Structure 1
């Protein structure tokens, strides 16, 4: 997909609030994460692809919520898991 084309998944983006201060699944399991990603459809907080369990990607695949935003301080980029590119 060309960057000049608007990602159709952006229609799923909502005004969300993070549901937790860490990866929801990692907090439950007691496992570590590297970086956090915010689901822009429902507010789920999951761990990144560099984390051992990759919960943000699993959430996107399981629920069809493909757009995430970095929750790292000073970062505001967004990513589409379907198209594997920034949006």
Structure 2
């Protein structure tokens, strides 16, 4: 049931090259990230949770290359705050 971060991937769409550029990951408890739908993280058959049962959310940007320009799109998480509990260090 272990998830892995999204890799860098690219595709060509006509004259466009589109590449996903990973920038990091966020680990969040399913109930904190999606309180009303946390059960779907376990039930859907996809590998969404890591070995500790946390959602692994990949963070990154899209690089779109046209014949005339390069455009970097920060995909972000939008106007949302996901509470991340602090952990006590031993």
Report the TM-score, using the length of structure 1 for normalisation.
0.27
Q: Which has the larger radius of gyration?
A: 2
Higher helix share: 1
Report the TM-score, using the length of structure 2 for normalisation.
0.27
Greater RCO structure (CA 8 Å; 6+ sep): 2
